[in-house]
């Protein structure tokens, strides 16, 4: 095994020397510069030194040396493949997390997807004026509706609003306050000056993503257990 490794290195060195000679005599055209060929020789010489040292250290156990070499080669291959396909891996991880974490978005440009939660709803992690607000898709709601606590978290002026808008809920008729949201973001889709309502304290458990947001989109649809929102370019 040692002898085989030695002759491989010898042939590699002679091959590099032949390459340089051919380059200088026009045998190889525009493939490398003389400096490049010199760099190749330096690397091969370094390889010879490292290989010789490795053989000296592991001369009693060449199999162990080869095993270590294969392990490092496998690690290097995994790293190269991971870097090459990093965007595909990120997309896969986003989709897996979207299935496991209710409301987590899978964003591809201006298209955003959500997975249906265990209770059958589409939970949406939105941002109102930069503050994270959990919502539930409600196509029956004519407007985005915020709970009183969510409106407070978003910095809306609850002390000056008036509950003057009549609304119908599952619990009957009530009143809500009309406001305009400076910014409502869902995944990579951002809409500004979005009309919304604020529910009175204790009237609503979860904020609703209603039609005042959905009507601004280029399109939206439910595909099986996926909610797909498409914003304008």
Task: State whether 116 and 70 are in the same domain.
Answer: no
Query: pTM for this structure?
Result: 0.59
Task: State whether 153 and 219 are in the same domain.
Answer: yes
- The pLDDT of residue 2 is 47
Give a yes or no: residue 116 inside a domain. Answer: yes
* Euclidean distance between CA atoms 138 and 196, whole angstroms: 13
Q: Which residues of 79-105 are buried (b: 16+ CB within 10 A; e: fewer)?
A: eeeeeeeeeeeeeeebeeebeeebbbb
Give a yes or no: residue 91 inside a domain. Answer: no
Is residue 140 a contact partner of residue 162, using CB atoms and an 8 Å limit?
A: no
* Euclidean distance between CA atoms 49 and 40, whole angstroms: 14
Of the candidates 55, 84, 113, which is a domain's last residue?
84
Task: State whether 215 and 132 are in the same domain.
Answer: yes
* Euclidean distance between CA atoms 232 and 174, whole angstroms: 34
Write the burial class of residue 142 (CB in 10 Å: 0-12 exposed, 13-18 middle, 19+ buried).
Answer: middle
- The CATH number of whichever domain residue 158 belongs to comes to 2.40.70.10
Of the candidates 51, 84, 117, which is a domain's last residue?
84
Tokens of 51: 């290989």
Task: State whether 150 and 226 are in the same domain.
Answer: yes
Give a yes or no: residue 66 inside a domain. Answer: yes
State the sign of the Cα–Cα–Cα–Cα dihedral 75, 77, 82, 84: positive
Give a yes or no: residue 170 inside a domain. Answer: yes
Give the number of domains in the chain.
2
Is residue 128 a contact partner of residue 182, using CB atoms and an 8 Å limit?
A: no
State how far the alpha carbon of 224 is from the alpha carbons of 52, 112, 113, 217, in Å. 62, 15, 12, 20
Give tens-digit pLDDT for 40-74: 556 665 655 566 665 665 555 666 667 777 787 77
H or E segment and range at residue 214: helix 211-214
Give a yes or no: residue 65 inside a domain. Answer: yes
Give a yes or no: residue 94 inside a domain. Answer: no
Of 167-171, 205-209, 213-217, the range with the lowest mean pLDDT is: 167-171
Higher pLDDT, 49 or 217: 217
Of the candidates 84, 114, 131, which is a domain's last residue?
84
Task: State whether 126 and 60 are in the same domain.
Answer: no
- The pLDDT of residue 90 is 59
Give a yes or no: residue 90 inside a domain. Answer: no
Task: Give the model's confidence band at 217: pLDDT under 50 very low, under 70 low, under 90 confident, else very high.
Answer: very high
Which range marks the domain in which residue 148 is found? Answer: 102-230
Task: State whether 115 and 149 are in the same domain.
Answer: yes
Rounded mean pLDDT, 22-29: 47
Task: State whether 123 and 183 are in the same domain.
Answer: yes
Residue 109 has pLDDT above 70, yes or no: yes
Rounded mean pLDDT, 100-107: 69
């Amino acid at each position: 095994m040692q002898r085989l490794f030695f002759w491989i290195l010898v042939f590699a060195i002679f091959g590099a020397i032949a390459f340089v000679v051919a380059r200088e005599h026009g045998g190889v055209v525009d493939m490398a510069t003389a400096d490049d060929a010199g760099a190749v020789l330096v690397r091969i010489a370094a390889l010879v030194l490292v290989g010789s040292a490795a053989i000296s250290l592991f001369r009693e156990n060449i199999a162990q040396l080869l095993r270590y070499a294969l392990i490092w080669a496998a690690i290097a291959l995994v790293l190269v493949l991971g870097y090459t396909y990093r965007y595909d891996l990120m997309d896969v991880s986003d989709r897996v997390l979207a299935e496991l974490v209710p409301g987590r978005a899978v964003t591809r440009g201006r298209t955003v997807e959500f997975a249906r939660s265990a209770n059958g709803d589409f939970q949406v992690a939105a941002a109102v004026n930069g503050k994270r607000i959990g919502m539930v898709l409600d196509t029956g709601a004519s407007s985005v509706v915020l709970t009183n606590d969510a409106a407070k978290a978003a910095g809306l002026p609850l002390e000056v609003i008036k509950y003057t808008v009549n609304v119908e809920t599952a619990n009957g008729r009530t009143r809500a306050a009309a406001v305009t949201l400076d910014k409502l973001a869902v995944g990579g889709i951002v809409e500004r000056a979005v009309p919304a309502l604020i529910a009175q304290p204790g009237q609503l458990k979860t904020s609703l993503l209603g039609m005042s947001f959905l009507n601004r989109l280029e399109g939206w649809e439910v595909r099986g257990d996926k909610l797909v929102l498409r914003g304008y370019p």
